[in-house]
């Protein structure tokens, strides 16, 4: 079969059409679903508060590949380059510790929109949205907890930090014209089983209620809370568990629940939770990652779980109720390659879900033809997804895989290795 690229794409469309799938319609939906790409892959979660930050709170980046971004200019340049190889609509997710301190020390309880003006300018110039994250870890006031700390003064510090993060998120929404989702994750927990597991959770409820007391226009800004099963140094108990935040999000429907693929027991899967959460919650936030043994935040692959996560969202017709973001960091390989591979795989998994013959599978299941469902769903795995993906990249002025690799290697030689 000797075909040019246009003929190959037409042939792929014909194969999907036989199953009742509209390829162009799927691509249109993919284009309308922005992916929020995390900034911290570029510098190993170092942030811009100080030149040498010691990570604490269950955060650990392993590896020492050359070329880590050392300042805002380098990080923005690396992000700009990475975004040029990630097709479709994108946003960038920032942590509060990536502020522009303008050469002075700024307490986290003192951060303001002005400290992120350079990021807003950068985003507006490139037409991308910005999401935000409060930073409760790696700080001298966070060693024994933050929003659950028994000392009211410590809690007050972090409550003020989170309040200010929300104002910065609103500012991002105003500047970019795109909704900003501000996510709140705390590392609080205990290495051994505590005597009292109830009181910290009650303090957390009180802290969160104060943080979210001031309403913000939901067209500009929304909040999310993120659970975790355990972390380094908090293996026995985490007050902000899935059950806790699930209950809190049900109590406060304006607050999104964040499901991180690495924040559950190894035998649990986020994909199995999505439809259950959508039965009760207005919207959810997904942090797409790849856990290995624990919440190790490996680069996202086009693996079964990532594909199933996207299938669950699409099958539920919930693309307008689910915000999708990446969250991983690998310092053992070229960091820009990690950005590109993980983000492209996330989008490719979503494209695969949009190309699934859902109507056919539902009809067959309704008729009791479960054997047919199994056959068609397995055939779907070898459908010409790659041809459609390459067409999507090329029509969005984005290189295909091997061309992207060439560009990444050139950037490493010309830029990263000279740092």
Which residues are tagged catalytic? 185, 226, 228, 260, 263, 287, 295, 297, 327
Dihedral angle at the C-alpha atoms of 35, 297, 383, 14, nearest 10 degrees?
0
Residue 202: C-alpha distances to residues 129, 214, 365 (Å): 35, 20, 45
Long-range contact list for 120-128, CB < 8 A, 24+ apart? 120/171, 120/172, 120/175, 120/176, 122/76, 123/92, 123/172, 123/175, 123/176, 124/175, 124/176, 126/80, 126/83, 128/83, 128/90, 128/91, 128/92, 128/176, 128/178
Kindly state the greatest CA–CA separation across the chain. 72
CA 372 to chain centre: 35
Question: In angstroms, what is the C-alpha Rg of the chain?
Answer: 22
| Residue located via tokens 């709170």 | 57
Beta bridge partners of 287: 260, 325
The tokens describing 14, both together, are: 């014909």
Cβ(116)–Cβ(94) below 8 Å: yes
Cβ(324)–Cβ(312) below 8 Å: no
Dist. CA 11–CA 366, nearest whole Å: 30
Cβ within 8 Å of residue 400, ≥6 positions away: 390, 393, 394
Beta bridge partners of 181: 222
The tokens describing 244, both together, are: 């806790």
Dist. CA 185–CA 173, nearest whole Å: 21
SS3 label, residue 328: coil
Beta bridge partners of 325: 36, 287
Q: DSSP for 364-389?
A: HHHTT-HHHHHHHHHHGGGSSHHHHH
């Amino acid at each position: 079969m000797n075909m040019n690229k246009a003929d190959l794409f037409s042939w792929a469309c014909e194969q999907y059409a036989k199953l009742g799938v509209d390829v162009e319609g799927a691509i249109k939906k993919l284009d309308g679903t922005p992916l929020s790409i995390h900034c911290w892959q570029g510098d190993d979660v170092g942030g811009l508060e100080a030149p040498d930050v010691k990570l604490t709170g269950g955060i650990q980046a392993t590896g020492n590949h050359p070329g880590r971004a050392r300042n805002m200019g380098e990080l923005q340049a690396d992000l700009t380059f990475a975004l040029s190889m990630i097709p479709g609509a994108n946003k960038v997710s920032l942590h509060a510790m990536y502020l522009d301190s303008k050469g002075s020390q700024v307490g986290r309880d003192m951060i303001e929109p002005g400290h992120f003006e350079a990021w807003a300018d950068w985003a507006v110039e490139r037409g991308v949205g910005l999401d935000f994250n409060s930073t409760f870890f790696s700080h001298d006031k966070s060693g024994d907890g933050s929003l659950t700390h028994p000392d009211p003064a410590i809690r007050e510090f972090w409550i003020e930090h989170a309040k200010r993060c929300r104002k910065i998120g609103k500012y991002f929404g105003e500047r970019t014209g795109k909704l900003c989702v501000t996510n709140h994750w705390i590392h609080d927990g205990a290495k051994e089983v505590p005597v009292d597991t109830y009181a910290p959770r009650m303090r957390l409820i009180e802290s969160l209620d104060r943080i979210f007391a001031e309403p913000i226009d939901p067209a500009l800004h929304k909040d999310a809370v993120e659970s975790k099963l355990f972390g380094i140094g908090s293996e026995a108990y985490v007050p902000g568990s899935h059950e806790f935040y699930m209950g809190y999000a049900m109590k406060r429907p304006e607050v999104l629940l964040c499901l991180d693929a690495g924040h559950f027991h190894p035998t649990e899967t986020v994909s199995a939770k999505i439809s259950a959460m959508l039965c009760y919650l207005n919207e959810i936030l997904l942090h797409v990652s790849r856990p290995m043994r624990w919440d190790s935040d490996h680069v996202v692959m086009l693996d079964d779980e990532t594909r199933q996560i996207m299938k669950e969202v699409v099958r539920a017709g919930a693309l307008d109720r689910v915000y999708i973001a990446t969250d991983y960091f690998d310092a053992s390989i070229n960091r820009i390659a990690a950005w590109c591979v993980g983000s492209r795989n996330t989008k490719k998994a979503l494209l695969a879900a949009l190309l699934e013959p859902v109507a056919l599978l539902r009809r067959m299941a309704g008729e009791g033809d479960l054997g047919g469902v199994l056959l068609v769903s397995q055939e779907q795995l070898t459908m010409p997804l790659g041809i459609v993906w390459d067409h999507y990249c090329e029509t969005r002025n984005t290189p295909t895989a091997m061309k992207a690799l060439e560009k990444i290697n050139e950037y490493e030689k010309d830029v990263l290795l000279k740092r």
